[in-house]
Structure 1
């Protein structure tokens, strides 16, 4: 069978089905627990500034430089093809410093006869994938050349990262050796006779992460970056959110790398002996020695994997953000796997280079156009047009106005439109407190006496029928026509639900969110899942907005790295190290500062803001076995009193900003 004739749409559907089958196979004076509750670290003197940027493992939080002006406007960018056709050169290998060979494919502009044009040179778009460039020939999002860009004068180089596809070596998911390859690949690209010594890095998901890590190498030939849905912090974004291992996407993702990246299709066809050797090597080294042990160690709570440290620092690109000096366009999604970090990329880069941010309503696969990204919409053109504009400006040197695009463009849930802003966090944002009260209300006024507590059961199975199921399967299960993909109505049944009074005007929130929840537990461990939604009292249904997760023993906060906004802590930094673990004593009050991922949403008038709290969110996280056993079949009391003021801290923006 000639696989090159398989329609791309069929391959896209098969990819989604494959993923589905894999899935199936504190801040104020009354809120201080004790000195140990923050791991012995006190708030820095900077915490009273208007906004502090969240720190990293190697840097403390610092004041944000606010960009007030926003002159940028979206325009549709069109340009005719420069060349009538494309041509793919014979495939080959790039030898690395340690003798390992990486497989590459080069696609160039061509003449009417689909032949290379002698003496022509081009800027190159570099894509580095773990999903096998052979598969990318059918689904470009996972590693293929885009004829739209090639015909407009760009060479495209696609490389299988070490240990995947037709490349030699051991795959270890953005490890030091893989990152060490990136600059050597750029060296090879600019040494080619068709190269004009100018490179742009591009890609979706894994490919976007390798792109932004390549930009961080600060190679002089790399002039621009266009990463789509890149991770920021491997530990906090997804793998161990709140100290809990992700049981859905991580096995699914490693299975996807195995299913697509292990088999060296090209080598098996052209050199069967080499192909078999690579297949055995990928299975033994990548799967047996890395993938399976890593998953098992995470679930069993092995120290170097289950706690934050050098392993995760290496795989957290935000740690290298200071090295990125090239113009960078970040694309994110409100339902994406890396929802937490994508706006922080803009925040980190805006002071050192030209940076732009676009966040759509997307899940992970929707950002790749599966089944659709919904663009153009509200004046925002297609991602393909934006990419062309970006690379035309910064690789070809054409003055096309890419630098004058809006700094920040976000889809706003509830408003259901894209809205632009000059900065992120929004210049008009103010941290605002709402307190959880004993009558299940959310009010700006705290409790002045002991009020009724709320009891929830400790069980690891909640959240299965919620928007998290879609989000943490990368959007694969979101393709099913069920209400759970967008609603939290079913999931709120076992939760303690707190609601504001019916709103008399719209409430616009945009940015990170914090929940400071006081609890007691009957177990030796506990966890909280805190979910925000827009509740319609007329129908009794709720639309999800965002959520957060935290294991009680990981409740320590380092306030020298946390984000403060007008004096309130709105994004706690948890160390998640073994040394920072705090004991959980049955019956003893504990403050759990839960980080809720950044979002942009309007709760319309006539609705209520709802905060739903329960003890787990299985699609997003499962406690490692030692912690899980310590909290099974217990109960949690959510406290509300003058001494234990549970609250949520929201980033509130004036609704007038929605019309800007």
Structure 2
């Protein structure tokens, strides 16, 4: 098994079961560094299609110092593994190097430092020092875990400044950061505090707004990813720290604080959300932990990688837009990836600018080594995969400047699993359709795989329901266009404004948009969710295009709840961003269900209202419609 495949298997297994993780190897210390093989393969510079040359390794191997003590300002000791370029004899090379920092909550002794690299030590063998640090309360670090809390954010700043200090004999004072998911989010919080020495970051699949992105999309509690994620951190946290063998007092203190954190942070938070408490609503807790709240303080060059089937499909492009508006040097690549694929940089070379390792080398060489030969100008600001055509599009902005709002109206009635309704740009006919509460809707779909971080796609990639949404669509109501005569292209967020009524005023609208081939195969493009009782809009934070709502923003607070039993009300459902070409002869479809499991489940107080049918209304008085950012000239 390749190193890449091994890392992917470990990550998937950890997320799925939180028990099948590899036990840490025996400890290594600063006095007795472990080394990688010292024999360097014969290498040459690799020239990419855009003219950039990926320089070969300049050192034959790497040397590692494990569990370095990194003291924080409050007395807590974090632990980091340091990898340095090595000479032929396996000892660390002399000199000062730019440092690339990763801060992880997944136990560095288990997950390692080379996730997604072309080869172990790729950057190190090219003249970088690599520092991988266990976040507070995880791995070998002391303290209590408080995911992305204010103290953890300050830790990031202090770790970077420690690494940049001239007191470190291996550091030249210039620091970058890299890593996916948790490690990507951490980079943004760290950069917002503007630590001395931080020059550039490379976050893959980071969140923007943790509440809307993943915790409670549409206001309903996520039960697919969040419990798995918290279980992974908790499980890796109670593995006896490797540092116990060399520093018993620190190791025991770390282990006890990790157990305490699981009892005082993880379990109570999950329980409160399920019971409909404060954790089920947006507020200060989630604002503190959302990078979009601090992104305006980030001023270092930022390379973002996102995925259209990723957990943070919504948030990553919003981060890019915020940075680009302020003139921060930034790039965005959005591929057809789930969370695992985006974390690994799977097939990112198809964009045309190199593998993940080559892109990181290119980025850090430019900003940490002042190597202007990186030719970053050859990389467009936005690179996005287009579903349907399989092509990569380049744009200057996330929502293309040529885009216009095109609305498709839901027309007439429809019957579950029997008769679809019509989706038209013309005049809509009046009608109604009843969405039945089917608690297994979503069970075997691309949505199910997406919201469990892509694990099902690893373990059961050949399941037909991950590729064809037709069966799942039969559990709800469908409206679709006639076969299109000209291709329809769009990219960005999508809004479904649906006029709905329920006997209880509760329930959730689960919306998917799909490409329907002439064969009948239904390819899910994206989805969105919205509790009917929390339909209130914050109009100042809602995005409009040509006067139409394109990306609604709902407050999701207790005060914003407004059930209206029996009344017809407009509900704007934010369909997460995607890019697609509906080819000639294909159809554009919107499907509406009342559940999306195992992704979302109602909090216990909302459960009774979620079991009543939902009626959709279409007429001139109730103009239900789907609005897309359409390219009138086919885009570039």
Q: Same fold (TM over 0.5)?
A: yes
Change in CA separation of 1:175 and 1:410 when aligned onto 2, cut-off 3 Å: same
Aligned residue for 1:483? Answer: 464
Picking from 377, 389, 397, the partner of 2:362 is 389
Picking from 402, 410, 426, the partner of 1:436 is 410
Picking from 545, 554, 560, the partner of 1:580 is 560
Query: For 1:361, what is the secondary structure of its paired residue?
Result: strand
Cα distance in 2 for partners of 1:422, 1:315 equals 29
Q: Deviations over 1:102-159 (max 9, x none)?
A: 01111111211121233x111110100000110133x632999951100111111111
Given that 2:114 and 2:121 are in contact with CA atoms closer than 8 Å, whether structure 1 keeps it comes out as no
Task: After TM superposition, give the deviation of residue 344 of structure 1 in Å.
Answer: 1.4
Given that 2:501 and 2:569 are in contact with CA atoms closer than 8 Å, whether structure 1 keeps it comes out as yes
Aligned residue for 1:259? Answer: 235
Aligned residue for 1:283? Answer: 259
Aligned residue for 2:380? Answer: 406
Q: Deviations over 1:276-325 (max 9, x none)?
A: 4422321122x11111111111111112x111111000110011111111
1:178 paired to 2:152? yes
- Aligned Cα RMSD in Å? 2.3
Aligned residue for 1:84? Answer: 60
Cα distance in 2 for partners of 1:346, 1:199 equals 21
Cα distance in 1 for partners of 2:471, 2:499 equals 25
Given that 1:145 and 1:157 are in contact with CA atoms closer than 8 Å, whether structure 2 keeps it comes out as no
Cα distance in 2 for partners of 1:75, 1:239 equals 42
Cα distance in 2 for partners of 1:579, 1:103 equals 43
1:296-445 → structure 2 map (5 Å cutoff): 296-303=271-278, 305-351=279-325, 352-369=327-344, 373-377=346-350, 379-400=352-373, 401-439=375-413, 440-445=421-426
Structure 1: unaligned runs, 5 residues or longer: 25-72
Cα distance in 2 for partners of 1:143, 1:552 equals 44
Given that 1:245 and 1:622 are in contact with CA atoms closer than 8 Å, whether structure 2 keeps it comes out as yes
Query: For 1:359, what is the secondary structure of its paired residue?
Result: strand
Aligned residue for 1:59? Answer: none
1:93 paired to 2:69? yes
1:230 paired to 2:190? no
Task: After TM superposition, give the deviation of residue 588 of structure 1 in Å.
Answer: 0.8
Query: How many pairs does the alignment contain?
Result: 596
Cα distance in 1 for partners of 2:575, 2:486 equals 24
1:652 paired to 2:636? no
Farther-moved stretch of structure 1 (617-626 vs 306-315): 617-626
Cα distance in 2 for partners of 1:22, 1:109 equals 33
Query: For 2:122, what is the secondary structure of its paired residue?
Result: helix
Given that 2:307 and 2:338 are in contact with CA atoms closer than 8 Å, whether structure 1 keeps it comes out as yes
Aligned residue for 2:186? Answer: 210
Task: After TM superposition, give the deviation of residue 461 of structure 1 in Å.
Answer: 2.8
Given that 2:117 and 2:357 are in contact with CA atoms closer than 8 Å, whether structure 1 keeps it comes out as no
Task: After TM superposition, give the deviation of residue 380 of structure 1 in Å.
Answer: 3.7
Cα distance in 2 for partners of 1:85, 1:261 equals 30
Change in CA separation of 1:408 and 1:629 when aligned onto 2, cut-off 3 Å: same
Given that 1:365 and 1:475 are in contact with CA atoms closer than 8 Å, whether structure 2 keeps it comes out as yes
Cα distance in 1 for partners of 2:310, 2:286 equals 20
Aligned residue for 1:17? Answer: 13
Cα distance in 1 for partners of 2:119, 2:288 equals 29
Cα distance in 2 for partners of 1:234, 1:163 equals 21
Picking from 638, 642, 645, the partner of 2:616 is 638
Cα distance in 2 for partners of 1:335, 1:644 equals 32
Query: For 2:222, what is the secondary structure of its paired residue?
Result: coil
Change in CA separation of 1:10 and 1:387 when aligned onto 2, cut-off 3 Å: closer
Change in CA separation of 1:74 and 1:431 when aligned onto 2, cut-off 3 Å: farther
Structure 2: unaligned runs, 5 residues or longer: 21-48, 414-420
Aligned residue for 2:536? Answer: 556
Query: For 1:381, what is the secondary structure of its paired residue?
Result: coil
Change in CA separation of 1:655 and 1:465 when aligned onto 2, cut-off 3 Å: farther
Task: After TM superposition, give the deviation of residue 11 of structure 1 in Å.
Answer: 5.1
Cα distance in 1 for partners of 2:63, 2:114 equals 16
1:149 paired to 2:149? no
Task: After TM superposition, give the deviation of residue 457 of structure 1 in Å.
Answer: 1.2
1:97-176 → structure 2 map (5 Å cutoff): 97-118=73-94, 120-137=95-112, 140-141=114-115, 146-176=120-150
Aligned residue for 1:39? Answer: none
Cα distance in 2 for partners of 1:7, 1:340 equals 30
Aligned residue for 1:54? Answer: none
Query: For 1:362, what is the secondary structure of its paired residue?
Result: strand
Aligned residue for 1:467? Answer: 446
Picking from 218, 233, 242, the partner of 2:218 is 242
Task: After TM superposition, give the deviation of residue 172 of structure 1 in Å.
Answer: 1.2
Aligned residue for 1:53? Answer: none
Picking from 498, 511, 531, the partner of 1:517 is 498
Aligned residue for 2:484? Answer: 503
Cα distance in 2 for partners of 1:350, 1:173 equals 27
1:585-624 → structure 2 map (5 Å cutoff): 585=565, 587-624=566-603
Q: Deviations over 1:322-352 (max 9, x none)?
A: 1111111100011000000111121111133
Query: For 1:82, what is the secondary structure of its paired residue?
Result: coil
In the superposition, the TM-score normalised over structure 2's length comes to: 0.90
Aligned residue for 2:433? Answer: 454
Query: For 2:287, what is the secondary structure of its paired residue?
Result: helix
1:46-57 → structure 2 map (5 Å cutoff): none
1:41-80 → structure 2 map (5 Å cutoff): 74-80=50-56
Cα distance in 1 for partners of 2:313, 2:616 equals 27
Cα distance in 2 for partners of 1:397, 1:166 equals 35
Cα distance in 2 for partners of 1:9, 1:270 equals 32
- Tell me: higher relative CO, structure 1 or 2? Use CA pairs within 8 A at least 6 residues apart: 1
Given that 2:8 and 2:340 are in contact with CA atoms closer than 8 Å, whether structure 1 keeps it comes out as no
Change in CA separation of 1:6 and 1:569 when aligned onto 2, cut-off 3 Å: closer
Query: For 1:237, what is the secondary structure of its paired residue?
Result: helix
1:188 paired to 2:184? no
Task: After TM superposition, give the deviation of residue 620 of structure 1 in Å.
Answer: 2.6
Task: After TM superposition, give the deviation of residue 272 of structure 1 in Å.
Answer: 4.9
Cα distance in 2 for partners of 1:177, 1:122 equals 28
Query: For 1:99, what is the secondary structure of its paired residue?
Result: coil
